[in-house]
Amino acid sequence: MIAPDMTGEPTLKLAKSATVTPPRVVSVAECRGFLEFCGLSPTVTERCSALFMFELYCGARLPNLPWDPAKIVAEVRSLEGVGRPVGTKPAEQFERPPLQELWKKHYLVGGMHSMAENIRLGLGRRQRKLREIIEEKYNPATAHLSSETIAKNVADAITSTYIERWRGQCLTGEWIVYARHEGQNHYLCLATHNEDEVEILERIKRGCVDEFPFLRSQLKFD
């Protein structure tokens, strides 16, 4: 929620949470300073919405949130041409309404779920590659090996699919949603695969249009 503090500076208010006591007001300047501390230049943060900056700020301070600001900053730096590729899928434009004028870039969330999902995808449809791994590692030619060695070899081959996806720039995660305007990226918000895209659009409409008026015509807002 954006609101002025006593000095008139634009602020963002942290909602009440069991992990944040008491609630406090966070200024846009504080969020911007946090992103610059994480490695984004002022020329980039001025193209980040207050909503986007606040989401990253909260990610560093609320342990129940799944995203890691450092990983998102690394993706933004890569998009800006000042950082190395992270191993995630290339940026792509949304293909259908209501977000078809916007772009998305995958970022990796924390925890084992992200690795497990990428391994699952690496094993292919109907786990075709898993069957191939088992047939390669557990067959008459490996009968002289202990069951522990065979199990380790199978496990190593399965987890190596994650490395293969990283090398191929194929890792999947959640989304950084951004707009392109006059040759520059404008970072709007974070989103997940299972979110309703209409809800994502409404969040952008409420939280970003005043900062980036070009969105009105780009997204055909009334």
Q: Which of 149, 167, 185 is the last residue of a domain?
A: 167
Give residue 148's pLDDT. Answer: 94
Structural domains of the chain, count:
2
142 and 43: one domain?
Answer: no
Contacts 24+ apart (CB under 8 A), 99-102: 99/177, 99/197, 99/200, 99/201, 101/179, 101/218, 101/219, 102/177, 102/178, 102/179, 102/188, 102/204, 102/219
127 and 212: one domain?
Answer: no
Under-70 pLDDT residues of the chain = 1-23, 222
Write out pLDDT tens, residues 174-202.
999 999 999 999 999 999 999 999 999 99
Nearest to 84, CA basis, from 73, 71, 74, 92: 74
Entry pTM: 0.84
54 and 153: one domain?
Answer: no
Give residue 64's pLDDT. Answer: 82
88 and 32: one domain?
Answer: yes
Write out pLDDT tens, residues 27-61.
999 999 999 999 999 999 999 999 999 999 999 98
Range of the domain at 160: 112-167
Give residue 15's pLDDT. Answer: 53
Give residue 157's pLDDT. Answer: 95
121 and 98: one domain?
Answer: no
79 and 178: one domain?
Answer: yes
